[in-house]
Amino acid sequence: MGGSIGNHKSAKRVNSINAVQQKTLKSSINCAGIALHSGNKVSMVLGPGEPDSGIVFKRTDIAGGGAYIPATWERVVDTNMCTTLGNDDGVTIGTVEHLMAALAGCRIDNATIEVNGPEIPIMDGSSWPFMFLLECAGIVEQDAPRRVIRIKKPVKVMDGGSVASLIPGNGFSLAFEIEFDSPVISRQSISIGLGNGAFKKELARARTFGLLHEVEQLQASGMALGGSLDNAVVISGGRVLNEDGLRYNDEFVRHKALDAVGDLYLAGAPIIGHFSGTYSGHAANHRLLQKLFADKDSCRHDLFPADEAEADDMEVAWAGDLVSSIGATA
């Protein structure tokens, strides 16, 4: 996707290793919802993309040719509260992480996302509605090989107590740890392999969350104006205010893992390796990709052999101690 993958391989090379093919949507599908931060209603159309075009956002409320924004790490312009992308003309699109995570979970390589405003609709605060829409539109293979980014050596970024890391490995797996000064959240951790549809089963329904006093402060400052119990888990003192409670006992750390999946898909292709995040967020995820691509020896752009994809599909969970592994190799 985008400019991160490099030159295309020859057809002869593709056939010789029986590579997995790229995927896109079979047809377009539309939806509408509330933008989390502006509170405005937003309409969006998810549509097919040409082979090797990657994920591209188009602002339909912007006239002329400056409305296109490639979904790549080079285009990240802000990581405060969400991940925001921008193009050379100053046009931006924010809160892309939940949709990007759904695209990664559905293994969609190419798509055009048309939006009539500067923010993706928040829907229910998770990736679940986006996955539902993508599956309803249908997913088809394309006549082009899928490319991956294979981690070759450990990469780590730190900021205070926040750590985000990538190490080599088979398939893509993820470990995350959070700690909040709230008896409802407290300290939570998760380690999971994302083969065999695990993203949809284990992470996709986890919603964004916040403490009530923090939400009120954000709204008083003009942010999170569209936030409500319909699209976020809100905590007050020792209880969850949402009438239906939590979707997972550890929904909070699962949502942070979901965010990481979406942010890392801005690499421009699926990552083959293991990610770990400790008290990290959008900013650390972005710095990690910057550091990864700043060192040409830290990763390799590659085709995705079909036999390796089949092995990845059999990996339901990754049981290693990822944090310890990174500490030993850093």
The catalytic site residues sit at 282
**Which amino acid, 213?**
H
| Token duo for residue 17 | 């290793």
Provide the pairing of β-strand 147-151 with 271-278. Answer: parallel
Question: For residue 158, what are its two tokens?
Answer: 């730190």
- DSSP per-residue letters across 259-270: HHHHHHGGGSS-
Block residue for tokens 């490639």:
70
Retrieve residue 239's tokens: 């209880």
Do 118 and 59 contact (CB within 8 A), yes or no?
yes
Q: Are strands 55-59 and 68-70 parallel, antiparallel or unpaired?
A: antiparallel
Q: Identity (one letter) of the amino acid at 10?
A: S
Strands 172-179 and 187-193, how do they pair? antiparallel
**List of residues 6+ apart from 31 with CB closer than 8 A:** 43, 44, 46, 121, 123, 129, 133
Distances (CA, A) of 306 to 29, 145, 146, 303: 29, 10, 10, 9
Whether 210 contacts 219, CB under 8 Å: no
Q: Which amino acid is at 236?
A: S
